[in-house]
Amino acid sequence: MEWSRIKTIILIILVVTNVSLLGFLVQRELQAQNAQQEARQNSIQFLENNGVTVEDEGVPEEMTLLPQTVEWDREQERESASVLLGGEVQEQAWSDEIYRYYNEAGSIQFHRDGTFQGEFVEGAFQLEGQDAAAYSLQVLEILGIQGESLSVQADSGEDAAVTVVCRQLWNQVPVFNHLITLTFRGDSLAAVEGRRLTGEPSLDSSQEPISIPTALFQFYHGMAALGDVCSRIDSITPGYVTSAGTGPSALTPVWYIATDTRNYRLDTLTGELSRAEESGA
């Protein structure tokens, strides 16, 4: 038999083998997806059978958030303070973990655990007719913080203050325990305080999220363990919480679960459920 003919036969065999292998892999992937979807539907039905209703579209299709760690970026803080206060700033180190920056416009102090607070001279940051919530987000952006406005509250009286509460976003995802309060007096920003996260993130490959069905089962059993009851899940919002400490900040993925009775946080790495104190709006 001629070599060219043998080579053609070999190539045909290889093509058929590859097509068969691809078909097998596609079939396995479809079977896995179908199994995951069936398990998800079963877990939703489990909640329904136990008196907790939840809309199918309200349950995430997959766990997209992974744990991360973020190193403290002190140089970025100094640059942000300089831009915010408008020029050169003096630096004052209270310790290796607390740094204060100040000039004639005011001061801002950063802590290694993520907390910070600033006080500003009257008139240094004028609203000049701008919306307080929108102006607050501009201030956060200067500080390297992506945020969203949660509430605006105006006091009554002669020395009335306007308080704007914002929450940090990390790549468009809420960080639930990073709330920031900005206070305006006399049409001028007077103070800011809260918790923030800055720096370069890196994925933590040491932990993997639990599955969607496991998360729903853990929610129900965790709620029962807390002695709570609910009849409806109104929303499930994926996001992060951070841990405070002297080392790198850990971003832990969680679900913020709003129900008809109260709100909860579900750790999607461990399945631990806790009552939520902060707003998930």
Read off the pLDDT of residues 189-199 as tens digits, 9 standing for 90 and up. 999 999 998 87
Banded pLDDT at 271 (limits 50, 70, 90): very high
Task: Pick the most confident of 76-80, 111-115, 129-133, 234-238.
Answer: 234-238
The predicted structure's pLDDT at residue 221: 95
With a cut of 70, say whether residue 209 has pLDDT above it: yes
- pLDDT value at 268 more than 90: yes
The residues, any chain, with a CB within 8 Å of residue 132's CB and separated by 6 or more, are 152, 162, 164, 182, 184
Which positions ≥6 away from 213 have C-beta within 8 Å? 39, 40, 42, 43
Q: Which residues contact 9 (CB under 8 A, 6 or more apart)?
A: none
Share of the chain above pLDDT 70, in %: 83
Average pLDDT over residues 263-277: 94
Confidence label for 31 from pLDDT (cuts 50, 70 and 90) = very low
Of 43-52, 113-122, 239-248, the poorest mean pLDDT is in 239-248
pLDDT at 104: 93
What percent of the chain has a predicted confidence (pLDDT) above 90? 56
Q: What's the pLDDT at 13?
A: 65
User: What average pLDDT does this structure show over 133-154?
Assistant: 93
Angle value at C-alpha 241, between 258 and 218, nearest 5 degrees: 50
Q: How far is CA 29 from CA 23, 26, 34, in A?
A: 10, 5, 9
Q: What is the pLDDT of residue 94?
A: 81
pLDDT tier for residue 23 given thresholds of 50, 70 and 90:
low
Residue 1, pLDDT > 60, answer: no
CA proximity to 143, closest of 193, 186, 177, 185: 193
Q: Which of 91-100, 133-142, 173-182, 252-261 has the lowest mean pLDDT?
A: 91-100
CA dihedral 257, 260, 261, 264 (to 10 degrees): 0
Q: Does pLDDT of 128 surpass 90? A: no
Under 8 Å between Cβ of 48 and 216? no
User: And the tokens for 265?
Assistant: 């946080």
Residue 157 has pLDDT above 90, yes or no: no
**Burial status of residue 159 (CB atoms within 10 A of its CB: 0-12, 13-18, 19 or more):** exposed
Pick the more confident residue, 39 or 98: 98
Q: What is the mean pLDDT of the chain?
A: 86
Q: Any idea which of 153-157, 162-166, 202-206 has the lowest mean pLDDT? A: 153-157
Q: What is the mean pLDDT of residues 214-235?
A: 95
Residue with tokens 């790495």: 269
